[in-house]
Amino acid sequence: MTSKETGDAIKCAYDKLVPIEKLKAHPKNPNTHTKRQVEALAKIINHQGWRAPIVVSKATGLIVAGHCRLEAAKHLKLTHVPVDYQQFGTEADEL
């Protein structure tokens, strides 16, 4: 992967680099992020690299943590993001 695809550097543990279009936001995600927040996070990722992966549930395939990171990656026009797949006991645990 080139830095154009993932950003300058990945400085966190992750299971796999995943194409952005393969990720699905959790429809019950209670958090919302403003355009300003997304742009600020994009600046941080662009400057410091990835410090945390996007967390995806092994059971449902939905994003559990990292919705704003995904939007920041889209803002940066990245094609792949670091993903950590985790097991959760229940759907409530995912939220």
**Distances in whole angstroms, Cα of residue 55 to Cα of each of 36, 66, 90:** 22, 6, 15
Full-prediction pTM beyond 0.85? Answer: yes
Nearest to 22 by CA among 69, 66, 70, 68: 70
In whole angstroms, what separates CA 5 from the centre of its chain? 14
pLDDT per position as a tens digit, 49-77: 999 999 999 999 999 999 999 999 999 99
